[in-house]
Chains A and B, each alone.
Chain A
């Protein structure tokens, strides 16, 4: 039990669809993260939130829009995605930005 849940676990969407990924942490942590994990590519940090404020955006295309309404929830809104956006999207949280990150199981996204 990692304490970080992600829904849905699998998502198939067309390029014109709009969908959202949800992450919830039950650990009382202050920082939350979105990562993209593609086959044969390094783990890519997308966004970081500390105390609900975005502290890092690693040149992510605007078709990915994060939202952090409170310190326990993190969303990733998706619209007009491309097939190359197909990947495993991992959410993580940590007490402090330097400390151990606790990961959710990920959402396997396929863009057709």
Chain B
């Protein structure tokens, strides 16, 4: 079985400061990893994803994440946040299920990023 842990439910940060949102996963097989963002009253949208290749992945809006297999982590980072980055961020992992052979995506519980002016 696969699982995703986002330990921080809320992260306050001052505008123009750097931020890191943590994500750890557990899975017995190879995984694909995703970060999604949800703005108020909207659905989720993809920020970035890791499928293979370079472990440093760059996404939209200046965000990046690094896949660390040994630490089973996929932390999201931004060097300088803006007020418009205030939103909820979800980490997700995709792995092959033991039964059926198809892969499913499991979402974390989300981290609310609050950017303070």
A: which residues have CB within 8 A of B? 2, 4, 42-43, 45, 48, 50, 55-56, 90, 92, 94, 96-106, 108
Contact = CB atoms under 8 A, between A and B. Distances in A.
A42 B107 contact: yes
10 closest cross-chain pairs (CB), A and B? A103-B43, A98-B103, A98-B94, A42-B109, A103-B44, A43-B107, A97-B102, A105-B43, A100-B46, A104-B43
A8 B39 CA distance: 19
B26 interface: no
Contacts of B44: 90, 92, 101, 103
19 contacts: A2-B43, A2-B45, A42-B109, A43-B107, A43-B110, A45-B107, A50-B102, A56-B104, A94-B105, A96-B103, A98-B32, A98-B96, A98-B104, A99-B32, A100-B46, A100-B49, A101-B44, A103-B44, A106-B41
Contacts of B42: 105-106
B43 A55 contact: no
Contacts of B74: none
B34 interface: yes
Interface string B23-58: 000000000101010000111111001000000000
A97 B90 contact: no
Contacts, number: 58
Given A56-B104, A98-B103, A98-B105, A103 B45 contact: yes
Interface of B: 32, 34, 36, 41-46, 49, 90, 94-96, 100, 102-105, 107-110
Contact of A97 (B41, B46, B103, B109): B103
Nearest to B103: A98
Nearest to B42: A105
